[in-house]
Structure 1
Amino acid sequence: MTIENKIPDPTWARLGFPEPPEFQTSGQHVGVIIMDQIRPHPAIRHLGDRLKYITVNHDLSVQCKDDIAVQSGSSAFSGGEDAELGVHGLKTLLALSHEPFEINGETHIGISPAAHFIVLDHGAFIDGEGERLKVGVDWILEQQGWNIRIILCTGWHASDNLVLLKRSHEYSAVQALQSAVKQEILVVCSNGNTRLGNIMPPMDYFTVGGYHDRGTKNRHMHVPYPDEPFGRNGDGHFRPDILAPRLHLTVPFCESTTTVGEVSYYGGTSGAATLIAGVAAYLFSKYSKLDEVELRSVLVRNAVLVVDHENSAPRIHVGRAIYALNSSLQTKEKNYHASRIKSDHLKSAIITMDEIERGVEFSRSIQQGELSRMELWTHSTDPCSIIRKIAVHALGKPKDSEERGMFWELLCKEQEGGVRGWYAYGLLQDSDELEVFFWIPYAIDSNWAVRWSVSEYLSRYEGRFPQLEKTDVPEQIQEKAEHLLQWMYLQQ
């Protein structure tokens, strides 16, 4: 919930829409591919045959279901290991398409409910994902009358390592989507939820990060989100392009078909990217001559920077973009934040001036097993956080008590969120209950990965130590940890 402990403002208002999107026309005649899994649910039945579910099997055969919107979802909510299966994709679909409902006099509605939606389940995070993705996307693009204008990709990197840096064209998912990019289809992509990773999406994708709007349309209340990733990708391009709200995104209650709730909440940069995809569908349907280049340009040029934020990507303001389009003030010019590396040639040593080239070469050296553990430790104090992150990730866990002490010391000193997250994860391995007073102070750390490690550590000793409930809401961090801090004080 928000800091005011109430239902958040509708997402359309928080995006800067001057009025709610029209249920019958917003996104009309626009086809949107959602790369995800979904489960049947009564909240999507209104979509009827405007929802297709595409599955690419391991033998690369393609199946298309036209009736998933009206299928019964009761059997899917039996709990157990698959209790969360399909919920992420369902929330994505609902954020785009849900019917209007009213709470406290405010109308909540999907951003582009009149669009056509094609959910592509290509078996993500399993061997062969890239090949199945390519088969699925190419098959969809061959269908007549679907008018695909947008691909929403919240897992662009497929099963690739998040830390080791390489050029964008080397990723299997990027190769799989190349045919869509060549057809000038807008690929909307999430930029990642933490600074644990180094890799970021290619420049061809309209890349979305997040900010913390505290669930309100009042822009004076908006602040940066802690540990939000941003920076240059393996090609040297700054990512992301634009920011959108990443917490408290309201959709109809969808966690169950047997219990009743008021709303469910969606979030992360998956949620932020979903909102931008919805805005794109809305604008494509409203301005029939708008292409993907002009759309990206008009949204970025009319977005507004977050105050006191190191990230130069601005937050979306749909109302300003609509005004600019209506005033014909925009030109078809891409707006990017950094120049690319002028040469794709990789230096043979990691002593070049450009940190991206160093990161790419350092990653290659680690993959080839060319560096000793002592050399990794040397790079763990490199001035470049990209190099430090790669080095600490490669170190894995402390090999002995001396290294364990070094991990704790460097966790305390390190400022960059991703590097700190890998130190905490390394310490989580082989930890014991005698370290409890080392761990508890980090329960109020601003870094999600560090707090996650504290929670996982304490869960190993449930019944002996108090537990830490995970939260991604900045205002709740202190509250969730207060009982732990009091317990530690009494013990000492």
Structure 2
Amino acid sequence: MRKSPEPTWARLGFSDAPDFTESGKNIGIVIIDTIAPHPAILHLGHRLKYVTVHDDFSVTCQNIALEEPVENEDASGEHGLMTLLALSHKPFAFQGKTHIGIAPAAHYIVLHHGAFRIGEGERLKAGIEWILNKQKEWNIRIILSTGWHALDHQVYLKSTRKNSTVQALASAVRSGVLVVCANGNTRTVNILPPRDYLAVGGYNDRGLAERDNHLPFPDEPYGRNAEGHFRPDVLAPRVYLTIPFCESNKKADVVSYYGGTSGAATLVTGVAAYLLSIFQSLDATTLRIALTTYGDRINGYDNPAPRINVTQAKAAIESGLITNQPQEALPALQIRHTHMELHSQDDMKRAVALSTLVERELCSRDLLWQYSCDNSPVVRKIAVSALGKPINEYERQEFWNRLAQESEGGVRGWYAYGLLQDARKNEGSQWIPLSTDINWTVRWCVSDYLAMFPDFFPQLETTHDPDSILSKATPLIQWLSGQDG
């Protein structure tokens, strides 16, 4: 960043900074994540509950804001802490600008259910049921799930109804709770959230509130999910989201920067809580319509999801422009005969059918190579990820050839990952030019490749900021040019 980012509230379209004592007041927000005690959350006091579901399905609840901070060498709870702070942090001035959480007056329940471990779905269901028993007392209106995909394979497709998180949150959705989720950080993945959730993608606002400066994020996933429904619903900033410094590594920094679609979804959660606290009779469906209808498209972008614009959404609600109508029932894709659907004209039917055969180990390598040439990038990702790594010299060269020819970033990510397996020291001249690739999986593969041979190659500092990709890669490119000379 050449200049300090503007406050997140300004970048979301607020006309003024959220009121510290009013924004989100009395709205209960459940955050599915982990946190650790930290001085920056002390002000939340009894408004923050930390609910833990243990392996024996017992549930405990603690006032973690009031506990003494402990040394946190492994950064556990850092993601959840950043999420909580983006929503609730106290106002502070940084380089002449006032930053504040989007919904600092809300009540927060952080739910730790042992995510990404066997049995996570059952534990999550137990935790949600425990919390919903207090729905009225805590006025639970929003659940934020940044890792809704859980242990599911992130490339192979199946109905989202089969996902353990979706099953665990079904009762909350039925009870009128708004579930906000992150849409995904990179096109390398395929699975996209169910239509029941307010799915939040991101864009590159360069830390600026002025909307003419906003750009699409170059590796942003969007498209149809396994049911055939377009995702995401809305977009929010995903770079340089400024919060009080809270990282475990010892630095003298004044601020930390949150990011990704986890950060974007967190900001939208805050906006939802802000609006719910103003319009107390507002229901989740009407709120969704306001946010998705009264946003701003990014000019020239083929992703139709709009950017959140708080001022426009609030004005539409105030003016009664939004009719309270149930969400339109869209039919979901039906996969009746897997082998027949492999030849469907609908690319998502082909993708689900191919995923099913791969997971049942009914796909030959020849068939995977055949579908690696499919006209749909969603299908190609499934085929290339299932191929894994090249199994002989011919395949290795073919992976390199395909990587050079492939234009879709997510498919490029899987070719790069395959080539990273059994990578060789003499391939540096092929890897280093990929350090400017727009797909972050490709760049991370370059970084991992160089780290295999630290005494021979300079290293690549990875970045999530599209505007910094070239500057991080330039020393490497120059080094390679010197070697060639």
Structure-1 residue corresponding to 2:89: 98
Structure-1 residue corresponding to 2:5: 8
User: What is the rounded CA distance, in whole Å, between the counterparts of 1:254 and 1:456 in structure 2?
Assistant: 27
User: What is the rounded CA distance, in whole Å, between the counterparts of 2:189 and 2:325 in structure 1?
Assistant: 30
3-state SS of the aligned residue for 1:145? helix
User: What is the rounded CA distance, in whole Å, between the counterparts of 1:212 and 1:109 in structure 2?
Assistant: 21
3-state SS of the aligned residue for 1:64? strand
Aligned counterpart in structure 2 of residue 489 of structure 1, from 473, 476, 481: 481
Task: Name the stretch that deviates more: 322-331 or 342-351.
Answer: 342-351
Q: Is 1:392 the counterpart of 2:384 in the alignment?
A: yes
User: What is the rounded CA distance, in whole Å, between the counterparts of 1:229 and 1:484 in structure 2?
Assistant: 28
Answer whether contact 1:200 1:232 (CA < 8 A) is retained. yes
Q: Unaligned stretches of 5+ in structure 1?
A: none
Aligned counterpart in structure 2 of residue 410 of structure 1, from 402, 407, 411: 402
Aligned counterpart in structure 2 of residue 60 of structure 1, from 51, 57, 61: 57
Counterpart of 1:52 in structure 2: which amino acid? Answer: K
Shift, 1:355, TM fit: 1.3
Q: Is 1:39 the counterpart of 2:36 in the alignment?
A: yes
Structure-2 residue corresponding to 1:363: 355
TM-score, structure 2 normalization: 0.97
Aligned counterpart in structure 1 of residue 224 of structure 2, from 212, 221, 232: 232
In structure 2, relative to structure 1, the CA distance for the partners of 1:191 and 1:325 (3 Å cut) is same
Aligned counterpart in structure 2 of residue 139 of structure 1, from 112, 130, 149: 130
Shift, 1:334, TM fit: 6.5
In structure 2, relative to structure 1, the CA distance for the partners of 1:170 and 1:491 (3 Å cut) is same
Structure-1 residue corresponding to 2:98: 107
Structure-2 residue corresponding to 1:70: 66
Aligned counterpart in structure 2 of residue 194 of structure 1, from 172, 186, 190: 186
User: What is the rounded CA distance, in whole Å, between the counterparts of 1:40 and 1:167 in structure 2?
Assistant: 38
Structure-2 residue corresponding to 1:442: 434
User: What is the rounded CA distance, in whole Å, between the counterparts of 1:293 and 1:341 in structure 2?
Assistant: 20
Counterpart of 1:72 in structure 2: which amino acid? Answer: E
Deviations 1:83-125 (A, max 9, x none): x211100000000000001123321100000000000000010
Q: Unaligned stretches of 5+ in structure 2?
A: none
User: What is the rounded CA distance, in whole Å, between the counterparts of 1:407 and 1:342 in structure 2?
Assistant: 32
Answer whether contact 1:388 1:419 (CA < 8 A) is retained. yes
Q: Is 1:26 the counterpart of 2:18 in the alignment?
A: no
3-state SS of the aligned residue for 1:96? helix
Structure-2 residue corresponding to 1:383: 375
Structure-2 residue corresponding to 1:289: 281
Aligned counterpart in structure 2 of residue 17 of structure 1, from 14, 26, 29: 14
Counterpart of 2:97 in structure 1: which amino acid? Answer: E
User: What is the rounded CA distance, in whole Å, between the counterparts of 2:392 and 2:249 in structure 1?
Assistant: 50
Structure-1 residue corresponding to 2:116: 125
Matches within 5 A, 1:133-282: 133-143=124-134, 144-256=136-248, 260-282=252-274
3-state SS of the aligned residue for 2:143? strand
Shift, 1:374, TM fit: 1.0
Counterpart of 1:326 in structure 2: which amino acid? Answer: E
Counterpart of 1:70 in structure 2: which amino acid? Answer: L
User: What is the rounded CA distance, in whole Å, between the counterparts of 2:259 and 2:473 in structure 1?
Assistant: 22
Counterpart of 2:48 in structure 1: which amino acid? Answer: L
Shift, 1:417, TM fit: 1.3
Shift, 1:447, TM fit: 1.1
User: What is the rounded CA distance, in whole Å, between the counterparts of 1:331 and 1:316 in structure 2?
Assistant: 19
Shift, 1:23, TM fit: 0.4
Task: Name the stretch that deviates more: 323-332 or 181-190.
Answer: 323-332
Equivalent residues, number: 482
In structure 2, relative to structure 1, the CA distance for the partners of 1:288 and 1:108 (3 Å cut) is same
Structure-1 residue corresponding to 2:76: 85
Task: Name the stretch that deviates more: 44-53 or 252-261.
Answer: 252-261
3-state SS of the aligned residue for 2:246? coil
3-state SS of the aligned residue for 2:257? strand
Deviations 1:173-210 (A, max 9, x none): 11000000110100000000001111100000000000
3-state SS of the aligned residue for 1:177? helix
Shift, 1:344, TM fit: 5.7
Answer whether contact 1:39 1:76 (CA < 8 A) is retained. no
Counterpart of 1:14 in structure 2: which amino acid? Answer: R
User: What is the rounded CA distance, in whole Å, between the counterparts of 1:362 and 1:261 in structure 2?
Assistant: 48
Shift, 1:340, TM fit: 4.0
TM-score, structure 1 normalization: 0.96
Structure-2 residue corresponding to 1:401: 393
Please report the RMSD computed on the Cα atoms of aligned residues, expressed in angstroms.
Answer: 1.5
Shift, 1:146, TM fit: 0.7
User: What is the rounded CA distance, in whole Å, between the counterparts of 2:228 and 2:28 in structure 1?
Assistant: 32
User: What is the rounded CA distance, in whole Å, between the counterparts of 1:123 and 1:130 in structure 2?
Assistant: 9
Task: Name the stretch that deviates more: 210-219 or 344-353.
Answer: 344-353
> Percent same amino acid among aligned pairs?
54
